[in-house]
Every structure is written in structure tokens, then in C-alpha cells.
Amino acid sequence: MSTITAPSSLDDKLVAARSASRVLATVPTENKDAALRAIAENLVRSSADVIAANRLDLVAARENGVSEGLQDRLRLDETRLEGLARAVVDITGLVDPVGETVRGRTLPNGLKISQVRVPFGVVGAIYEARPNVTIDIAALALKSGNAVVLRGGSAAENSNRVLVEVIQDALASVGLPREAVQTIDEFGRDGAKALMRARGFVDVLIPRGSAALINTVVAESTVPVIETGAGVVHAFIDESADLELAEEIVHNAKTQRTSVCNTLETLLVHRAAVDRVLVPVLRKLRASGVTLHGDPAVRAAFPDSVEATEDDWHAEYGSLDLAVKIVASLDEAVEHIEAYSTHHTETIITRDYAAAEEFLARVDSAVVMVNASTRFTDGGEFGFGAEVGISTQKLHARGPMGLPELTSTKWLVRGNGQIRG
């Protein structure tokens, strides 16, 4: 193992996580499911303590001028905690990927070879102002046989501390090591830097948060990174789009929850659909309080909008703001997406089958949709239970990451005396 420059107690936590990972790697599914049910029960039982700690974080966030969008991500209440508990229980109903045979065969010499899924070992996570991630990642890591080390950021430090205590107490109650889930928030930014350099202690690192956070982790980490991406998400209204469909999809994608990474941030509209579709769509958005940042053609068609700048095409607002541009063709829409997208989620609204298929084929994002709200890019909605994040890179994990994405593989070879000539 390599050494890391961090306080010895942080070293001790990482060593303990490695030890716990060896235990979890061979724990039967029923024991892992028992731990998940215990976590869900303890989460509900301790909801008053969690909410009290979360209230401290929210007060600090308001005092520090944190945006409403980030405050929404930070907020926990009884309803959200009950939802998190249900999501944890739902994971018990998912297939345990550990031990699954990916492929196998018998060689001509009689050797039987098989590739099977195994846990990574220790998963590190760096995220900010998202206490729900503490529960989501811990639960998925445990079901997939991994220990997890969490750096949840100062904005949610009180919430995360209590949540980790809830998880650890639940693990101990079913005979699993408390150290399987740990937080290093007390070490601040130094802890985050140490986690990024903990090669040999941590097998994979997953960042979740702003583009700045993700880029920093990707650039500075010596631990392999599964990159989750910022969400500059696009919808394209094609010239054949159905008006009612366009109104409902765009409104839902923008307003259903503005602070999440799959919310709509840029709307592209075919110029042939401006009079028939664009104006009613924008009118519905304005009625819901959305500020529209339009190019000159949009502002001419819909004066109740503000001037869009170059920065707007790059913006992940996380608020009731939307950039809007009129394009001459599907080609121009795809070119704009290629230039500005973070390759998260894009959708086309159209009645033209050929246009839909061309959009699906040409747009290079983790999730590409036809006639559906981008808000469906979500582990729960995809049937994965909770999610580790939305991966926008092109390695083994892309899109919503569930249990299989938290595993690696190894080859098992069974022989009866074969030697190589």
C-alpha cells in the first residue's frame, strides 16, 4: 500500500475501511439485506435527531448566502427521510450482483473459466450539500459488498454526522462492522485531498456535485475516478412536435424540481415551430415563474424574456431559469448540444420517427430520450433503487449507476492438472 499525508486517525479510518471491506466481500445476501432493513428502521426511528442536525446546516446555509437550489438539496424533513428509508428497503429487493457470472466457457484443454462480479472493495465518495447521498451511496455500497468512506462537505456536516451514526448503529445491530461506513468530514478539505490520494486504501472514487468539484477530483485524484457530470441538459422541440406534449414535457423537465442534475437548462426550438409551439410553451413556463434567457429570435417572438449571453448556454442554473434558442434544423440542434452539453441527458419532442431515430443516434450523452421529460434520468425511475450518481464518462458505468456499477470482475479458473506446453 502507498502512504498518504494525513492525520494518523484518518489513516486509521482508511485501514479500518479496508478491513471491513474484506468482511463484506463474503457476506451473504440475506445478511446484507438485514443490514439495509436495520438502516431504514433506524433512519425513521432517529428522524428527529436527523432533522435537528439538518436544521443547523440549513441555518448556516442561509447565513452564508447559499442559493435556494442548494438549500433544497440540503434540506431533510420527515417526508424525505421516509422516502430515503423506503429506497433503502427497495434495495433489498434488487438482485445482488456479487458472484454473478458475466461470461464463461470450457477451453479445449478442459479448463473451466468464468468471469464473475466482485466488489470494488473500498469506495470513496466526495459530494456537497447532499445528505441524501450519504444514505444512497452507503446502502448501494453495502448491498454490493463494498465499504465506503464519505466526504460530504461542510455544508451538510451536521446532517451527515448523524446519518453515519444511524447507519453504523444499524450495522452493529446485525453483526457487521461499523467501519464499513465512515465519514471523514471532520478533516475538512485536507481530508478530501487525502482521500483523492489514498491509492491502495481506496479502490474507486466517485465525486458528486458542481462541475468545479467534479473537475477538481478528476484532475487531482490518484485514485481511479468514476466521473459523475454536471447537468447542462437540453430539450429540442422539432418542427413536427405536438403542442400539448411539448408544453407538458418542457414544463415538467424545468419546474418539477429545479435543483437536481436532470432538470432542463436549455431549450432548443425548430424555427418552423416558433409560432405554433414555442410561444405557448414559454407562456406556460413564465406563468410558473421561470425566467427565460432568449436569443434575439426568441425575444422577438416572446418579449417577456431577457437577453441570453454566451454564459447562458453553459449554465447549469439549478433554479427557475431557462436558456432558449431557435435553431434552423435538427442538425443545428445537435451541433449546439455537442458544443455545450455536459453529456448528461437530452430529449427531443417530435412526431417524426426518422428525426427521433437520428437524434438518438447522433447525440452523444449518457441518456438520450424521445418525447419524455429529462427528469426520468434517475436510478429510482430506471428501477435501480437508489443511485450512486449519473455517470457521464464512458468507462464501464454510464448513466444512472446502481449495484452492478459498484462491482468489478475477476476470472475464476478451475482445472484438473492442466499445464501449458
**Confidence (pLDDT) at 15:** 96
Does the pLDDT value for residue 177 go beyond 80? yes
| Residue 234: strand, helix, or coil | strand
> Does position 3 have pLDDT exceeding 70, yes or no?
no
**Rounded alpha-carbon distances, angstroms, from residue 233 to 8, 194, 238:** 43, 32, 16
Q: How far apart are CA 403 and CA 117, in angstroms?
A: 11
β-partners of residue 205 are 124, 225
- pLDDT given at position 227: 83
- What is the mean predicted confidence (pLDDT) over 103-116? 97
- Of the listed ranges 19-28, 78-87, 209-218, 385-394, the least confidently predicted one is 385-394
Give the per-residue pLDDT at 238: 97
pLDDT score of 233 more than 60: yes
Residue with cell 436510478: 379
Residue 128: the pLDDT is 86
Residue 8: its pLDDT value, please? 53
For the chain, residues classed under CATH 3.40.605.10 are 8-228+393-414
220-230 average pLDDT score: 89
Rounded Cα gap, residues 360 and 321, in angstroms: 26
Name the residue type at position 107: L
pLDDT of residue 102: 96
Q: Choose the weakest-confidence range: 73-82, 117-126, 130-139, 225-234.
A: 225-234
pLDDT at 191 over 50: yes
Q: Which CATH architecture has domain 233-376?
A: 3-Layer(aba) Sandwich (3.40)
C-alpha cell at 232: 447542462
Distance, CA of 217 to CA of 128 (rounded, Å):
13
Q: Which secondary-structure segment (H or E) carries 57?
A: helix 47-63
Strand partners, 112: 106, 414
pLDDT over threshold 90, residue 230: no
CA–CA dist 131, 134 (Å, integer): 5
Query: Could you tell me the pLDDT band of residue 393, with boundaries at 50, 70 and 90?
Result: confident
| Mean pLDDT within 63-74 | 87
Q: What residues contact 385, with CB distance under 8 A and at least 6 apart?
A: 87, 90, 91, 93, 94, 139, 140, 379, 402, 403
Q: What would the mean pLDDT of 176-202 be, rounded to a whole number?
A: 95
For residue 229, pLDDT beyond 80: no
pLDDT digits (tens, 9 = 90+) for 283-338: 999 999 999 999 999 999 999 999 999 999 999 998 999 999 999 999 999 999 99
Is a pLDDT exceeding 70 seen at residue 2? no
- Model confidence at 7: pLDDT above 50: no
What average pLDDT score do residues 37-46 get?
97
- Residue 4 confidence (pLDDT): 44
pLDDT at 390 over 90: no
pLDDT at residue 6, rounded to an integer:
42
Q: How much is the average pLDDT of 224-229?
A: 86
For residue range 326-353, what is the model confidence (pLDDT) as tens digits?
A: 999 999 999 999 999 999 999 999 999 9
User: Options 3.40.1190.20, 3.40.640.10, 3.40.605.10, 2.40.30.40; which CATH number does 8-228+393-414 get?
Assistant: 3.40.605.10
Per-residue cell: 319: 433554479
